[in-house]
């Protein structure tokens, strides 16, 4: 039978462990770690001889103290050192969180992102928070957000339901980017009863005019069941890996599919999806079991 002294030791030890884990989830993993998630594959139908390295960054959520402009610059330097042929930005540059000491303006985070370099360029899509934090874009029900304009101003190509053909070593491939699937929020102020996406998968893929492989950028992974096998690889962010991931499972995921597309490399019916765990935090500044990451994909 446990005595009072033993009980107090147990309670004290439990409190200390809880405080330690809480401190790690609040301060160490979100701020002090940066991992590299590496994937290597040759998707079905990939062009023989085409070797391509993708470096992808997702979900920065620029704000202080969690994701300052200085930290974004340091992440970009690390991304550049990975020597990607093309660098991809998967959306959610705006904060999306109230637990901040300062919101980093678009002019600052876009200038930080302008330090990214790649032989085939830096290419971006928007995320839901880039739309949600722009009241004018919400009112207009479309158009460019401040994030679109900020990235374009620093020379980063933004893909809004657009596909372009790129070439490496004489081999071509297509890069297609969808507009956000949760762009327009419901509410009386906007006179909308439900969330409205501005993505156009069919129209985007209709711009592909030959048989070269297609890489699709889609902020939310929920589009994946509708992506045809014509697409070699879909890259997404949005989920943050659930921000808390235990034994390969994320209990809370912002997806109608739950944990199905929470994180990592998913293969369904010979189609490939990679979901980044992202870099910043949304809603709450907590990460546990899914540290901030840069994604590197070697194709071919």
Confidence of residue 31 (pLDDT cuts 50, 70, 90): low
Per-residue pLDDT, averaged over 114-130, amounts to: 98
Give the CA radius of gyration of the chain. Answer: 20
pLDDT, one tens digit per residue, over 263-287 is: 999 999 999 999 999 999 998 899 9
pLDDT value at residue 32: 62
- C-alpha to C-alpha distance for 34 and 19, rounded to whole angstroms: 23
CA nearest to 279, candidates 237, 230, 220 = 237
Confidence of residue 28 (pLDDT cuts 50, 70, 90): low
Per-residue pLDDT, averaged over 205-228, amounts to: 98
- C-alpha to C-alpha distance for 91 and 214, rounded to whole angstroms: 19
- Helix residue ranges per DSSP H, 114-256: 128-132, 135-140, 146-153, 201-205
* Beta pairing class for 264-268 and 86-89: unpaired
pLDDT value at residue 8: 40
Considering only residues 285 and 189, tell me which one the structure prediction assigns the higher pLDDT.
285
- C-alpha to C-alpha distance for 183 and 170, rounded to whole angstroms: 37
pLDDT value at residue 26: 52
Per-residue pLDDT, averaged over 79-86, amounts to: 98
Least trusted range by pLDDT, from 18-27, 40-49, 212-221? 18-27
Per-residue pLDDT, averaged over 119-133, amounts to: 98
pLDDT, one tens digit per residue, over 2-25 is: 444 453 444 344 433 333 334 444
User: Could you tell me the end-to-end alpha-carbon distance of the chain, in angstroms, rounded to an integer?
Assistant: 63
Name the strand (E) or helix (H) holding 162: strand 162-168
Considering only residues 270 and 1, tell me which one the structure prediction assigns the higher pLDDT.
270
Q: How many CB atoms lie within 10 A of CB 201?
A: 18
Domains with residue ranges and CATH for the chain: 33-299 (3.60.21.10)
pLDDT value at residue 20: 38
Instruction: Write down the mean pLDDT value for the chain.
Output: 91
- C-alpha to C-alpha distance for 67 and 62, rounded to whole angstroms: 5
Least trusted range by pLDDT, from 167-176, 187-196, 203-212, 229-238? 187-196
pLDDT value at residue 97: 87
- 45, pLDDT greater than 80: yes
């Amino acid at each position: 039978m446990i005595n009072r002294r033993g009980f107090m030791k147990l309670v004290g030890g439990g409190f200390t462990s809880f405080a330690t884990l809480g401190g790690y989830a609040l301060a160490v993993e979100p701020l002090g770690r940066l991992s590299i998630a590496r994937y290597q594959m040759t998707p079905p139908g990939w062009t023989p001889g085409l070797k391509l390295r993708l470096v992808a960054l997702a979900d920065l959520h620029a704000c202080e103290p969690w994701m300052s402009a200085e930290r974004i610059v340091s992440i970009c330097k690390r991304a550049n050192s990975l020597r990607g042929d093309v660098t991809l930005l998967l959306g959610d540059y705006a904060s999306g969180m109230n637990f901040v000491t300062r919101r980093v303006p678009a002019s600052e985070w876009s200038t930080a992102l302008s330090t990214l370099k790649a032989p085939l360029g830096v290419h971006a899509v928007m995320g839901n928070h880039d739309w949600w934090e722009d009241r004018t874009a919400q009112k207009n029900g479309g158009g460019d957000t401040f994030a679109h304009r900020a990235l374009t101003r620093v020379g980063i190509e933004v893909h809004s339901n657009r596909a372009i053909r790129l070439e490496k070593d004489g081999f071509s491939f297509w890069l297609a980017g969808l507009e956000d699937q949760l762009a327009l929020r419901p509410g009386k102020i906007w006179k909308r009863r439900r969330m409205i996406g501005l993505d156009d998968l069919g129209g985007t893929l209709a711009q592909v005019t030959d048989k070269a492989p297609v890489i699709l950028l889609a902020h939310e992974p929920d589009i994946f069941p509708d992506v045809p096998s014509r697409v070699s690889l879909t890259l997404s962010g949005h989920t943050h890996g659930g921000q808390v991931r235990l034994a390969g499972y994320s209990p809370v995921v912002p997806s109608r599919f739950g944990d199905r597309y929470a994180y990592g490399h998913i293969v369904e019916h010979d189609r490939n999806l990679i979901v980044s765990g992202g870099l910043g935090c949304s809603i709450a500044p907590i990460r546990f079991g899914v540290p901030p990451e840069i994604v590197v994909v070697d194709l071919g």
